[in-house]
Amino acid sequence: MSRDVTYDEDRSQIRTGTGPHVMAALRNAAIAALHTAGITDIAAANRHHARDSNRPLALLGII
């Protein structure tokens, strides 16, 4: 599934300056981190990690 569909980029209200580029870079970094962890279903992983604020930190090895 594409980043546009998974993150619903078409409805984003960030449209000026470098905001769209920064958000795209953050989304790409999130996808890369999930892929590095062996996760292929990005949408399901986003839902899973959104349920507990410690999960993304653990994925990145921060906690």
pLDDT, tens only, 4-62: 788 888 888 888 999 999 999 999 999 999 999 999 999 999 999 999 999 999 999 99
For residue 11, what pLDDT is reported?
84
Q: Which residue, among 33, 32, 34, 12, has the nearest Cα to 23 in the 3D structure?
A: 12
DSSP 16: S
Report residue 34 as tokens: 């999930």
- pTM > 0.85: yes or no: no
Reply yes or no on whether the pLDDT at 1 is more than 80: no
